Amino acid sequence: MPKYGTREWQQTPGNDPRRTVALIEAAEMWRRYGDEDDLLAWFQQAHTARPPLSSGKTVAELPDVPKRVARPVVATEGWPPVALPGRPGWYRRIVNGRQVDVQSRQVAA
């Protein structure tokens, strides 16, 4: 069976069922995998050997990486209480306009 778009396919008569089958197969392959050249390039890139992760630098060794600064936990009016990191079972909520830390059994009340 001629492959869609090849010279053999182009020379096949228009009423030949093999021509239609090749067209449908090509459309189905496009639907599944997209452009054949892009698919082949992806396969090539996916099978390229890469250095192991352990050969790279750690975050501490990277001089230009900005260090993350922790933001304070702030409860918002109309939202559920916010869990406090490092304090299991404690939440921050707003009570009378103030930020208040409460234990989990007090959250629902």
pLDDT in tens, 63-84: 776 777 778 899 999 899 999 9
Instruction: Based on the fold, state whether residues 44 and 77 are members of the same structural domain.
Output: no
Tokens 């869609």 belong to which residue?
Answer: 4
Q: Residue 61 falls within a domain, yes or no?
A: no
Q: Residue 2 falls within a domain, yes or no?
A: no
Q: Residue 63 falls within a domain, yes or no?
A: no
Q: Residue 83 falls within a domain, yes or no?
A: yes
For residue 12, is pLDDT > 60? yes
pLDDT in tens, 33-60: 777 787 788 888 888 888 888 888 887 7
Task: Give residue 109's pLDDT.
Answer: 44
Q: Residue 80 falls within a domain, yes or no?
A: yes
What's the rounded mean pLDDT across residues 76-99?
91
Instruction: Based on the fold, state whether residues 43 and 74 are members of the same structural domain.
Output: no
Closest to 28 in 3D by CA, of 7, 4, 2: 4
Query: Token digits for 61?
Result: 């060794």
Q: Residue 58 falls within a domain, yes or no?
A: no
Q: Residue 59 falls within a domain, yes or no?
A: no
Residue 45 sits in which domain range?
7-52
What's the per-residue H, E or C state across 22-69?
HHHHHHHHHHHHCCHHHHHHHHHHHCCCCCCHHHCCCHHHCCCCCCCC
Number of domains within the chain: 2
Q: Residue 23 falls within a domain, yes or no?
A: yes
